[in-house]
Amino acid sequence: MNKIVVLYDSRSGNTKKMAKLVCDGALSLSETDVRFLSVSEASAEDILWCDGIAAGSPTYIGLVSADMKVFWERIIKKTWGKIDGKIGCAFSSSGGRGGGAEIVCQSITTIMLNFGMLVFGITDYTGPGQTLHYGAIASGQPAEGAESDACVRLGRRLAEWVAFFCHGKKEAYPLIQEYKKK
Amino acid sequence: MNKIVVLYDSRSGNTKKMAKLVCDGALSLSETDVRFLSVSEASAEDILWCDGIAAGSPTYIGLVSADMKVFWERIIKKTWGKIDGKIGCAFSSSGGRGGGAEIVCQSITTIMLNFGMLVFGITDYTGPGQTLHYGAIASGQPAEGAESDACVRLGRRLAEWVAFFCHGKKEAYPLIQEYKKK
Amino acid sequence: MNKIVVLYDSRSGNTKKMAKLVCDGALSLSETDVRFLSVSEASAEDILWCDGIAAGSPTYIGLVSADMKVFWERIIKKTWGKIDGKIGCAFSSSGGRGGGAEIVCQSITTIMLNFGMLVFGITDYTGPGQTLHYGAIASGQPAEGAESDACVRLGRRLAEWVAFFCHGKKEAYPLIQEYKKK
Amino acid sequence: MNKIVVLYDSRSGNTKKMAKLVCDGALSLSETDVRFLSVSEASAEDILWCDGIAAGSPTYIGLVSADMKVFWERIIKKTWGKIDGKIGCAFSSSGGRGGGAEIVCQSITTIMLNFGMLVFGITDYTGPGQTLHYGAIASGQPAEGAESDACVRLGRRLAEWVAFFCHGKKEAYPLIQEYKKK
């Protein structure tokens, strides 16, 4: 079973909408179990349980939100040194393009690297002019189409890598998936 | 006279279009002289001459292009230690949203910090859902409206900071400019 | 009068020691007034008062500490859009070399760019094998010699740029300072 | 067989010394084959061949060297979209502490994310005051002891993750390795 945590912080609800789409993507791969948790709900046990984590934060002043930072810095700090090798990725909703969503994704993956995790980017385009090389981003709530699809793709890819790397499912390898042809 | 270099690397022409808009913005402030130069045209003399530099690169694999890097690493390396205190900012055109344009802007300002320059971000929104907190970004060529306006604003702001900080023009202070009301 | 805020977050005391050295550096320039404040002491009024801010955070999981983030995200959020053009720089103490102190400095300057500030790097070496291109860093408490000198230099440079840029003191220009000869 | 490429750019020889230590580390795990290649020697075939890549660049102006960038941007550009899921990590030698080696490691992993690779950080300390959370760093040539050990550890960890993730060797999992007790 691919065990995924979709972890989010959200105030306006935009990042939570992204998180739900990430869940949908992860669940689209068979034999996948997802825990959908805000930073106030998730515990060290959830993080220890999972194979992979997709973490999303609103773009607050160009970095991961303070609440998301508190989660890693205090709430699950005791898992540091115990979760090396879990697989991670990031997503963020900003107030506008050029507002730092990519840089927030980078700050989330920086945290994950510190914990010894493996993080990934995605080469795919989910539509003309929309990709997710460093994680899925949205301006405000995820727009229907390519922006929402990027969130779905992120969750799907996380599940695929978990299946492929953690559970030896060679058939989950993304480059042989149908959607790559887009 | 506010002396500005707008420096760019461009293959498809998209970043060059952004650069032209950045020029327009800089020239919209009176008493401003702009040198519009590609990385193959600009020289150490240009960099020593100016008060401020707006540098733009296509988003190539999430970082400043190799040609732009060569410019700083080799062509003007001898200016290192001589241009401390010049004012800088960045812009980039990527293949798609989420493709790394913000991270490229960050890589350009990182280079500038290394040279002892001062770099700035911009708080303004140039339209709903478009800002330029870490530099101006575009997906492909700069779209008319908010995306192009962000390029213009970047050049204007650079000229304003140069006028304000380097030439003591208190009236150039951006927060008292009309467009801030948007 | 050059008005400087040295802002810090510190639990072990290491970053606070760096902050004191940054203060010393700033005060070494005449006509400089420094407010030395932890993130729990500083207020929006302090930030509005000053010309320049040196902000230091411990290296917690590769990013600015949650407490420092809270300061910018909540405590002084209302100053956003009002402090454009203030001058900033960063410092950080990490548990070890390679532990992320440079990346924390980058995260602090990212926050400052978001607020429309100008941030700077420093080209100087304060001793063999020690520089502060992106801010001053220390592993643990700042060691005597080059590491402590880097903190002092950071504060001095901030005061110099404030004097030069904000108060028109041409004689404060760093490249004509004695210590550059080292 | 764990297939590793240790890729480096080096002018002074410092980064090459790091690269050799990374090789030593990788080869310390049984059933590991390493190709030790400069950016002028490596080809697309090497990149397609391997399971994992450790890439090292000198710290030139706070970013990956132009020659390393050229390698990814031009020489192996045609592998883009074909190497998703390979495992990567970074190392860098800078002129001095605080000179950007961590930020260069970040720029290398940014490139790797763009290619769809998985990159990792390392939680271990290889001695008091020396870690490699974002890759191995050195100031000048890698000093004997903790700094050199960090390079060795990086190569070893890459081989371990490749064995564990790509070849199903559960016994390679780093957290059960002897050296973790340090």
Considering only the beta carbons, identify the residue of A81, A87, A175 that sits closest to D84.
A175
Measure the CA–CA gap between B12 and A174, rounded to whole angstroms: 30
Please give the pLDDT value at position C180. 57
pLDDT digits (tens, 9 = 90+) for D60-96: 998 999 999 999 999 999 999 999 999 999 999 999 9
User: pLDDT averaged over chain B?
Assistant: 96
CA distance, residue B63 to nearest chain A CA (Å): 12
Q: Residue C18's pLDDT band (boundaries 50, 70, 90)? A: very high
Please give the pLDDT value at position A66. 98
- Residue D88 near residue D119, CB atoms below 8 Å: yes
Helix (H) or strand (E) holding B114: helix B101-114
Percent of chain C with pLDDT over 90: 96
**Consecutive 10-residue averages of pLDDT for chain D (182 residues):** 98 97 98 98 98 98 96 96 97 97 98 98 95 97 96 98 97 84 46
CA distance, residue A134 to nearest chain D CA (Å): 7
Q: Chains that contact B by 3+ CB pairs under 8 Å?
A: A, C, D
Please give the pLDDT value at position C182. 47
Burial class for D161, CB neighbours closer than 10 Å (0-12, 13-18, 19+): buried
Q: Token digits for A89? A: 């990725």
Measure the CA–CA gap between A127 and A150, rounded to whole angstroms: 9
* For D75, nearest residue in chain B (alpha carbons): B66
Residue B182 pLDDT greater than 50, yes or no: no
Q: Chains that contact A by 3+ CB pairs under 8 Å?
A: B, C, D
pLDDT digits (tens, 9 = 90+) for B65-117: 999 999 999 999 999 999 999 999 999 999 999 999 999 999 999 999 999 99
CB contact under 8 Å between D96 and C129, yes or no, is yes
Q: Residue A57's pLDDT band (boundaries 50, 70, 90)? A: very high
Q: Residue A180's pLDDT band (boundaries 50, 70, 90)? A: low
Cβ-based neighbours of A28, under 8 Å, separated by 6 or more: A152, A155, A156, A159
Please give the pLDDT value at position D182. 47
Measure the CA–CA gap between B121 and C112, rounded to whole angstroms: 8
Considering only the beta carbons, identify the residue of C99, C128, C150 that sits closest to D133.
C99
* For C114, nearest residue in chain B (alpha carbons): B133
CA distance, residue A1 to nearest chain B CA (Å): 30
Residue B181 pLDDT greater than 90, yes or no: no
Please give the DSSP secondary-structure letter assigned to residue A78: G
- Residue A40 near residue A88, CB atoms below 8 Å: no
**A137 close to B (CB below 8 A):** yes
What integer is the mean pLDDT of A61-90? 97
Contacts of D61 in chain B (CB under 8 A): 69, 72-73, 80, 111, 114-115
Residue type, D69: K
CB contact under 8 Å between D113 and A109, yes or no, is yes
Contacts of C111 in chain A (CB under 8 A): 61-63
Contacts of B130 in chain A (CB under 8 A): 96-98
Residue C36 pLDDT greater than 50, yes or no: yes
Contacts of D100 in chain C (CB under 8 A): 102, 133-134
Residue A56 pLDDT greater than 50, yes or no: yes
In the three-class reduction of DSSP (H, G, I as helix; E, B as strand; rest coil), residue D13 is classed as coil
Measure the CA–CA gap between A55 and A87, rounded to whole angstroms: 11
CB contact under 8 Å between D61 and B111, yes or no, is yes
B44: nearest Cα among B66, B67, B68, B77: B77
**A44 close to C (CB below 8 A):** no
CB contact under 8 Å between D110 and B72, yes or no, is no
**D132 close to A (CB below 8 A):** no
